[in-house]
Amino acid sequence: MELENILRTAFPSLSEQSLAMIAKQCRLVKHPRNGILFLEGDTGTGFYALSSGTVKIYKTSPAGQETVLRLQGPGSIFAEVILFESDVYPVSAAAMTPVSAVLIPREHFLGLLDEPRFRNEFIATLMHKQRYLTDRAPLSTAPSSSWMRPLLARIWPRVERNGVPSMAVTLPPASRTSTAPAEMSQGFSLNSQ
């Protein structure tokens, strides 16, 4: 039952029947602070629904420099890229605090997608997440690039080749006259080296 409660938070659009189907092959995993959940390049055996704690998702450059891409908190799903895009983890994940998460096996979940009802409910969950993100996207007609910075930072890993950015992107500091939300106007730089 504990697994289903955690999964219910991560997959709010799924029926009790679908949650039970996922839970059959899942297991609760715990990691201490600084514990590694997976490393970039590891075979993607499953993805996670975080119950408690904070997980950092990061990449490590060939020189050993770590870049944190995002932090995951309770209720979030991560590493789902191994379902559709790649069978290896394109990033690494480590516990910043003690972590409890449900590990959802890749092969089991892919098999569930063959079930029409489950597949439709899962698509509804993806659409819910997309709608959530769309509703929070900044709307601005100003020629400022400040609202684009967080967007580019999120999609940057998707434009990499073999784990290395294929180009450098450096954006100028945000204009003080920007109409984008203030919290989104902090500058950043993405470099290929």
The domains of the chain, with CATH numbers, are 2-136 (2.60.120.10), 148-190 (no CATH)
What contacts 70, CB < 8 A, 6 or more positions away?
56, 57, 154
Percent above pLDDT 70 for the chain: 68
Tens of pLDDT, residues 117-175:
898 888 887 787 777 767 776 654 444 444 445 544 444 444 444 555 444 444 445 44
Q: Which pTM was predicted?
A: 0.65
- Mean pLDDT (the chain) is 77
Q: Name the nearest CA neighbour of 36 among 91, 109, 107.
A: 91
Region 34-54 average pLDDT: 95
The tokens describing 44, both together, are 């993607």
User: Which pLDDT belongs to residue 162?
Assistant: 53
164 or 9, which is more confident?
Answer: 9
Tens of pLDDT, residues 161-174:
455 544 444 444 54
* Three-state SS annotation for the chain: CHHHHHHHHHCCCCCHHHHHHHHCCCEEEEECCCCEEECCCCECCEEEEEEECCEEEEEECCCCCEEEEEEECCCCEECCHHHHCCCECCCEEEECCCEEEEEEEHHHHHHHCCCHHHHHHHHHHHHHHHHHHHHHCCCCCCCCCCCHHHHHHHHHHHHEECCEECCCEECCCCCCCCCCCHHHCCCCEECCC
